[in-house]
A and B are shown apart, each in its own frame.
Chain A
Amino acid sequence: MAENIGIRVHNLRKTFQRGRVQACRNVNLQLAEGALMVLLGPSGCGKTTTLRCIAGLEQPDNDDAIWVKGRNITRLQPKDRNLAFVFQDTALFPHLSIRRNISFGLDMHKTYGRSERRRRVNEVAELLHVEDLLERKPHEVSGGQAQRVALGRAIVMEPDAFLLDEPLANLDAALRVEMRTEIKRIQKHLGITTIFVTHDQEEALSLGDVIAVMRDGEVQQVGTSHEIYHYPVNFFVATFIGSPPLNCLPCHVQTDNGALNLASQAFRLPLEAAGGTASLRDHGEIMLGIRPESIAIAPERPDTVAARVSLIEPLGSRTIVILEAEGVELRALVQGETSVREGEAVHLRLDLGRAFFFDNAGNRL
């Protein structure tokens, strides 16, 4: 490996209640020093458990699970790992002032003298715009400020990595977007390896250099926002990412006079357009997944699908058109506003070249 590896999670297994609950089945992650990885997945998929194992708050089942900067730290005490964890619930110490909260890690390690610690706290407080709050107690600051302070407490330690477990989940929407940008800015500025856990896909897509999608204690796919969105490896990733969600239609592949056709309840379309069609030949029943932006309203042609507009959801810059074709519901995303009306009969062009096909097991074909 050319780049230095910041954090490596290797075949991480973690079970609870004597193996009855498998929180992490086999998690493998690798991220370069200074990179920002987002762990994304539905509730209960093991994101927090993975992060807690990295921080040392849970003991993994296997001995060689956690590596930081090439060192196996699986069995080290949390305090000896030099990793900073930011909890979803701001874990500020209620009995300490904001200043003492931020300097907590420094005070415990005593690497620096008193005045140096003070200087570092001031510096971080300025970076996070909480310098005016330093003498207050945690209950005297707002939720957003408290979360900044929690970040400050992490930053001031100059840790080998930040582990952030849904740090923005309890903030209101506007603040969340603002803090998200800020976290990314600070992370780039400091160049500290970071794992950010979220179940909010928008947050994940906008934040991560790399996104790891998890499900049921396993990593499904690791990739950039672009890769995850446009090249999902399986049905789960494809449906989990994307808003409005992916259109899913059970189809079967038919061969008529040597030409491949894709048939469903609502349509029958020639498959030439779709790349790699040959591989589809061997599959009968498949699942078609098509993103709403790959469906366009178009003039009638042999390869269009007849549908009726059932609902229009304007989003300002874009519009979601909900359509019904022979009992199948489809969503189309169009730029700007649309001239079609609810109840109108229209024709749809499905861009099969950008569609996904999945086999019965949910793997992408």
Chain B
Amino acid sequence: MAMHTRRATLTPKVLSYSGLAVVLLIVLIPYGYIALTAFKPAEEIFDVRWLPRVWSLDAWRYAIEFEQFHVYIYNSMIAGLGAAVLALCVAVPGAYVFGRKQFRGKDVMFYIIVMALLFPFVLLVVPFTILWVKIGLYDTMPGLWLAYQVFIIPFAIWILRAYFAELPRFLEECAMVYGCTAFKAFWRVMLPLAKPIITSLMFLAFLVGWNDFLFSNMLTTGQGPRTASVIIYVSAVGGERVEWDVLMVMTLMAGIPPVLLYILAQGQFLKTFAVRSY
């Protein structure tokens, strides 16, 4: 009997862990290979083996000193952070109004905004470029921030609206009875309650800016705020010869900041406030 119950609880555990392990390996093996290749000297690149025979930092030196890749990483960082902050400033109040206030044409406006998500962004690249040149946003950082919002803001409003709509009305009213203006009630009560989901959305918005290639490629030049993803692309397809080891270094460098950011923000993602009524 005892054996039986232990078996019964053990088997699914073993199964789920081995399943997870397989998934983890699928994800980790390419990354591991990238990481190790970044330390191979140029002549070893095409040797199919895991560990480099000679550990070399040549590719790193080249990526930073010659390609100035850290500058582009910095650009990506600014692009991502700016996109996230701008999205936040617009989407949070917007979602709040859509979620909790009544006004004429609300539903229609909301559907139009969400519909923007269905529009293929590729089609926007050319008009955007023309427009950006005309109004002086071409090849500027704010130009990039603004362009990303086409995708970020509808998405963020869509997610946040549902969240705000579900927060109990009496919490806000209670704040107002106990001395808050409508805005202060939003600021002191609703916003803190939405903090976990806002943090998650900011992270996603950052990733959009960080990973974007389409707009970053079209709206910037080599002299302007070019981002890392564009440089990686150019190194992969641009020259007469692909420097694989350098490419691996770049990939690695571009991959680390989001991970660090995720680890920093992780506590927030997991935190949810139990909004209980008795």
B179, B193, B276: the one within 8 Å of A79 (CB): B179
Question: When the two chains form their complex, are residues B193 and A95 in contact, meaning their CB atoms are under 8 A apart?
Answer: yes
* Interface residue B42 (Cβ < 8 Å from any Cβ of A): no
* Interface residue A338 (Cβ < 8 Å from any Cβ of B): no
B177, B188, B273, B277: the one within 8 Å of A89 (CB): B277
Question: When the two chains form their complex, are residues A171 and B278 in contact, meaning their CB atoms are under 8 A apart?
Answer: yes
Which residues of A lie under 8 Å from residue B192 when comparing CB positions? 95
Q: Which residues of A (82-115) have their CB < 8 Å from a CB of B? A: 83-85, 87, 89-91, 93-95, 104-105, 108-109
Question: When the two chains form their complex, are residues A108 and B177 in contact, meaning their CB atoms are under 8 A apart?
Answer: no
* Interface residue A55 (Cβ < 8 Å from any Cβ of B): yes
Minimum CB–CB distance for B271 against chain A, Å: 10
Choose, from A67-75, A138-146, A239-247, A346-354, the stretch at the interface.
A138-146
* Interface residue A255 (Cβ < 8 Å from any Cβ of B): no
Bitwise, A159-178 to B at CB < 8 A (1) or not (0) is 00000000000110000000
Question: When the two chains form their complex, are residues A108 and B180 in contact, meaning their CB atoms are under 8 A apart?
Answer: yes
Which residues of A lie under 8 Å from residue B276 when comparing CB positions? 90, 94, 138-139
Count chain A residues whose beta carbon lies closer than 8 angstroms to a beta carbon of B.
30
A87, A109, A139: the one within 8 Å of B174 (CB): A87
A84 vs B177: C-alpha distance in the bound complex, in angstroms? Answer: 7
* Interface residue B176 (Cβ < 8 Å from any Cβ of A): yes
The residue among B171, B179, B184, B195 with the most chain A CB atoms within 10 A of its own CB is: B179
Question: When the two chains form their complex, are residues A95 and B273 in contact, meaning their CB atoms are under 8 A apart?
Answer: yes
Question: When the two chains form their complex, are residues B278 and A91 in contact, meaning their CB atoms are under 8 A apart?
Answer: no
Which residues of B lie under 8 Å from residue A153 when comparing CB positions? 178
Residue in B closest to A108 when the chains form the complex, CB atoms: B179
Q: Which residues of B (152-180) have their CB < 8 Å from a CB of A? A: 168, 170-171, 173-180
Question: When the two chains form their complex, are residues A170 and B277 in contact, meaning their CB atoms are under 8 A apart?
Answer: yes
* Interface residue B264 (Cβ < 8 Å from any Cβ of A): no
Question: When the two chains form their complex, are residues A91 and B179 in contact, meaning their CB atoms are under 8 A apart?
Answer: no
Residue in B closest to A94 when the chains form the complex, CB atoms: B273
Question: When the two chains form their complex, are residues B179 and A87 in contact, meaning their CB atoms are under 8 A apart?
Answer: no
- Give the bracket for the number of chain B residues in contact with chain A: 20 to 34
Question: When the two chains form their complex, are residues A79 and B278 in contact, meaning their CB atoms are under 8 A apart?
Answer: no
Q: Given A91-B171, A93-B171, A95-B192 in contact, is the A85-B177 Cβ separation under 8 Å? A: yes
Which residues of B lie under 8 Å from residue A77 when comparing CB positions? 176, 181
* Interface residue A270 (Cβ < 8 Å from any Cβ of B): no
A108 vs B178: C-alpha distance in the bound complex, in angstroms? Answer: 7
A78 vs B178: C-alpha distance in the bound complex, in angstroms? Answer: 8
Q: Given A79-B177, A83-B177 in contact, is the A91-B170 Cβ separation under 8 Å? A: yes
Which residues of B lie under 8 Å from residue A79 when comparing CB positions? 176-181
* Interface residue B274 (Cβ < 8 Å from any Cβ of A): yes
Q: Given A139-B274, A143-B278, A146-B278 in contact, is the A89-B168 Cβ separation under 8 Å? A: yes
A87 vs B173: C-alpha distance in the bound complex, in angstroms? Answer: 10
* Interface residue A254 (Cβ < 8 Å from any Cβ of B): no
The dominant DSSP class at the B interface is helix
Question: When the two chains form their complex, are residues B175 and A93 in contact, meaning their CB atoms are under 8 A apart?
Answer: yes
A77 vs B188: C-alpha distance in the bound complex, in angstroms? Answer: 17
The residue among A84, A95, A104, A170 with the most chain B CB atoms within 10 A of its own CB is: A95
Bitwise, B234-278 to A at CB < 8 A (1) or not (0) is 000000000000000000000000000000000000000111111
Question: When the two chains form their complex, are residues A147 and B179 in contact, meaning their CB atoms are under 8 A apart?
Answer: no
Which residues of A lie under 8 Å from residue B175 when comparing CB positions? 93, 104
Question: When the two chains form their complex, are residues B278 and A78 in contact, meaning their CB atoms are under 8 A apart?
Answer: no
A269 vs B256: C-alpha distance in the bound complex, in angstroms? Answer: 96
A77 vs B177: C-alpha distance in the bound complex, in angstroms? Answer: 9
Q: Which residues of B (170-205) have their CB < 8 Å from a CB of A? A: 170-171, 173-181, 184, 188-189, 192-193, 195
Minimum CB–CB distance for A291 against chain B, Å: 36
Minimum CB–CB distance for A70 against chain B, Å: 21
Which residues of A lie under 8 Å from residue B277 when comparing CB positions? 89-90, 170
The residue among B175, B177, B184, B277 with the most chain A CB atoms within 10 A of its own CB is: B177
Which residues of B lie under 8 Å from residue A36 when comparing CB positions? none
Which residues of B lie under 8 Å from residue A105 when comparing CB positions? 178-179
Which residues of B lie under 8 Å from residue A138 when comparing CB positions? 276
Q: In the complex, given contacts A81-B177, A85-B174, A108-B179, what are 15 additional A-B residue pairs having Cβ atoms less than 8 angstroms apart?
A: A55-B177, A78-B176, A84-B178, A85-B173, A85-B177, A89-B277, A94-B193, A94-B273, A94-B276, A95-B189, A95-B273, A104-B175, A108-B188, A139-B276, A170-B277
Q: Which 8 A-B pairs have the closest CB atoms?
A: A108-B179, A143-B278, A89-B277, A91-B174, A105-B178, A94-B273, A139-B274, A85-B177
What are 7 sample pairs from A and B whose C-beta atoms fall under 8 A apart?
A: A57-B173, A57-B177, A79-B179, A84-B178, A85-B173, A108-B179, A157-B178
| Interface residue ranges, A against B (CB under 8 Å) | 55-57, 77-79, 81, 83-85, 87, 89-91, 93-95, 104-105, 108-109, 138-139, 143, 146-147, 153, 157, 170-171
